[in-house]
């Protein structure tokens, strides 16, 4: 199993950024996926999750209305569209794979993360 | 809403000594609890699931116990590669449940 995030970088407050996570080595379309972030000096925070089929999505209150999670199961890619970003969105963003499939399980595989820095 | 707490916030242990970390849930999560390790500069790694089952490749010095609202992660003999932040998280729920705030383990 491999998960590889991309798309991070430096962005100004109020702007947009799209993160991607490419999955390989497993049946991507069968697994729920989650974005988890680690902000400087803070702990792990799940940000957004999407069920295997893509029809059900979930968001932490801190990003609701600003972030959108989606997936392209034909390309084995998970996305996180980040709009109207704020300074406190600065973090390393990880994608993580559900262990068993689509049950809201623990995460058995994680990407290496992509750093998003929001600053003016 | 389930709230997770972890104690202590920082645990300083001598090399080769035992480290005991606690995790508490504000309501019962049965044994649906995982522990993750995050070494400096690395991605989180699954250590324990179902409260007490070691994930693949995890050394036997790591053990988990507990059920309901009280959980413990024990490192029987602390090694240099165990210096990390440890997080607990309940699961088996949509939306995902929150991680605990973490316990930093370092050498005394």
**Cβ atoms A90, A117 nearer than 8 A:** yes
Are B43 and A51 within 8 A, CB to CB? no
Residues of chain B with pLDDT under 70: none
CA distance A57 to chain B (A): 8
| Residue B30 CA, distance from chain mean position | 16
Note the pLDDT of residue A101. Answer: 87
Under DSSP, the state recorded for B108 is -
Tell me what pLDDT residue B61 has. 98
A3, A35, A43, best to mutate vs chain B, most B CBs in 10 Å: A43
- Is the Cβ pair B91, A94 closer than 8 Å? no
Tell me the C-alpha to C-alpha distance, in Å, between residue A40 and each of A2, A119, B14: 25, 14, 27
Question: How high is the pLDDT of residue A104?
Answer: 87
- Looking at residue B36, what is its pLDDT? 98
From first to last of the 120 residues of chain A, give the pLDDT tens digit.
Answer: 999 999 999 999 999 999 999 999 999 999 999 999 999 999 999 999 999 999 999 999 999 999 999 999 999 999 999 999 999 999 999 999 999 888 889 999 999 999 999 999
Task: Find chain B residues with C-beta within 8 A of A61's C-beta.
Answer: none
Q: What is the predicted pLDDT for the residue at A102?
A: 86
């Amino acid at each position: 199993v491999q998960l590889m995030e991309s798309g991070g970088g430096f962005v100004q407050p109020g702007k947009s950024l799209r993160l991607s996570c490419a999955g390989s080595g497993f049946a991507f379309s069968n697994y729920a996926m989650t974005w988890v972030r680690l902000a400087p000096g803070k702990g792990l925070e799940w940000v957004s999750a999407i069920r295997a089929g893509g029809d059900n999505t979930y968001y932490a209150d801190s990003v609701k209305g600003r972030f959108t999670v989606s997936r392209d199961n034909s390309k084995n890619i998970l996305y996180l569209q980040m709009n109207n970003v704020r300074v406190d969105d600065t973090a390393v963003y990880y994608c993580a794979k559900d262990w068993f499939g689509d049950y809201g399980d623990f995460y058995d595989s994680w990407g290496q993360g992509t750093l998003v820095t929001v600053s003016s | 809403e389930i709230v997770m707490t972890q104690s202590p916030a920082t645990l300083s242990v001598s090399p080769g000594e035992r480290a005991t970390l606690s995790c508490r849930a504000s309501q019962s999560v049965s044994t649906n609890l995982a522990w993750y390790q995050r070494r400096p500069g690395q991605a989180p790694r699954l250590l324990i699931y179902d409260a007490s089952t070691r994930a693949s490749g995890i050394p036997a010095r790591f053990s988990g116990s507990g059920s309901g609202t009280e959980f413990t992660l024990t490192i029987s003999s602390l090694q240099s590669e165990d210096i990390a932040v440890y997080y607990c998280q309940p699961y088996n729920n949509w939306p995902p449940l929150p991680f605990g705030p973490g316990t930093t383990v370092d050498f005394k």
